[in-house]
Structure 1
Amino acid sequence: MVTESTEAVIEQLGDSALSEIYALRDDFARFMMPYKFAIDEVMTKISILREEFAALHSENPIEHVNSRLKSTESVLEKVARKGIAPSYQAIRTTITDIAGIRVVCSFVSDVYRVFDALTAQSDVRVIEVKDYIANPKPNGYKSLHAIIEIPVFLSDGPVPVTVEVQLRTVAMDFWASLEHKIYYKYDADVPAEMLAGLHDAADVAAELDSKMEELHRQVRRDTRRV
């Protein structure tokens, strides 16, 4: 089901591009299937890491994990909005967040620890990493974004599929959730004073992460002495 807003974007295109996009939509379920399987594969990898950390290291750095598969309408709207050639190959190459996974960790060090463990696996290829923890966005957003590629084995052979993995702390996730709700409520036209407040809140969240990290290190040091 394509919404009115999506239709409005699509119908701004020429007749040729428009007919190609609608033709894509008719067979989109088949195109999206490998992305669903890729999410399942990465979720399994993360689940194994969680169990291993808990069993062998007596701690679990992963608080919770969510996955998201973009809807057909969302993909088609992005195709139209960004002027992407209406072909499956162009979509595969250009839109790298069709399959998305968010990993929420306890501490900043855990974010990098989980990232290293996941991307060290032989069938995971790292395509791109954007470290918004070391280099936050101007609005204060923090997270570690990784575009990875994994093979999905179908009946006619393996298919390489890209997955966007976002890793962040609980504090970062709380801030990002609040920011999303605010932007949705104001339809992206957020008052300046609220933007300033969000930025201040990002600083508070970063300070909390820093303090919790130090407490975590202290606990680990004291545990070793026992």
Structure 2
Amino acid sequence: MNTQQLDQLKKMRNEITRFMLKYKFALEEMETKIEILKEEFQSLHDYCPIEHTNTRLKTPESIMKKLIRKGGTIAIDSIEEYVKDIAGLRITCSFISDIYRVSEILQKQSDLKILQVKDYIKNPKSNGYKSLHLLIEVPVFLSDRVENVCVEIQIRTIAMDFWASLEHKIFYKYNRSVPQHLLEEIKEAADTANALDQQMERLMQEVQSIKDLQHEDTERELRSITINNQKFNLPEALLEILGKE
């Protein structure tokens, strides 16, 4: 290999490295955002909607396979046009309502640009798959420029994540040729997971209602005093003064 060929190889290597690094950095930016949210909820609120997170960066080989499958040309610009899920972040929540809460928080962050929202919870896939997908652009500040990098975020419950993980393993075990009777059982399992999510959501709402009633009882108790077995409500004027202090 002559000097010119070595220089071309080095240039190609640097371009691929820079390309992959920006997706890695975008994932790290998102991980930091999620960690900030988790710490805020854990420190200031009595409940954190985020259970855990996972990140995934496609390999160059996997990227090329998807690009060819989608009919793109072998070029960096073509990859960015056809392959939008090079960087992936999965957020697992306890309850369905948490999914939409986390999604709303992320969509309100001014430095993130929302490119696409796919709600597979309200509109599940035919096999039973459920999840909320956000395709976003994350600004990555490099030494010589700012790159806006696509990251796919999947937000799902623990039950949805469990089902999706096992469904994926079954498909690859059968090399995507799954017998019909297993497909039907996989769909039934998805319905079971959904029923569990719905039941847990109802239980959570019931517990929250009980907590709200207890809070109201405590507040009423604090607004009164008892002397000689007689209860007296504190004057509103006094409560207003105490509230200003």
User: TM-score range, shorter-chain basis?
Assistant: 0.7 to 0.9
The alignment status of 1:137 with 2:138, answered yes or no, reads no
After superposition, give the CA deviation of every residue in 1:161-194 in whole Å (9 maximum; x if it has no partner): 0000000000000000110010010000001111
Query: Is 1:182 paired with 2:186?
Result: no
**Hey, what does 2:94 align to over in structure 1?**
106
> In structure 1, how many angstroms separate the alpha carbons of the residues matched to 2:59 and 2:95?
32
- Could you say which structure has the greater relative contact order, defined with CA pairs below 8 angstroms and 6 or more residues apart? 1
So what's the TM-score if we normalise by structure 2?
A: 0.81
The structure 1 residue matched to 2:202, chosen from 203, 211, 214, is 214
Compute the displacement of 1:25 (Å): 7.0
Number of matched pairs:
204
* 2:44 aligned residue: 56
- Using the alignment, how far apart are the partners of 2:15 and 2:109 within structure 1? 33
Pairing 1:1-226 to 2, within 5 Å after superposition: 27-226=15-214
Q: Measure the CA separation in 2 of the matches of 1:57 and 1:93.
A: 41
Unaligned runs of 5+ in 2: 1-10, 215-245
Deviations along 1:39-74, one digit per CA (max 9) or x if unpaired, are 000011011111111222211111110000000110
Equivalent in the alignment of 1:12: none
| Structure 1 counterpart SS, 2:137 | strand
Task: Report the 3-state secondary structure (helix = DSSP H, G, I; strand = E; otherwise coil) of the residue aligned with 1:136.
Answer: coil
Distance 2:116 2:58 in 1: 20
Q: Specify the SS of the correspondent of 1:218.
A: helix
Distance 1:54 1:64 in 2: 13
Distance apart, 1:27 and its partner CA? 3.8
Percent sequence identity over aligned pairs: 53
Aligned Cα RMSD in Å? 1.3
Alpha-carbon shift at residue 93 of structure 1 (Å): 2.1
Distance (whole Å) between structure 2 residues aligned to residue 190 and residue 27 of structure 1: 40
Report which of the two structures shows the higher radius of gyration computed on alpha carbons: 2
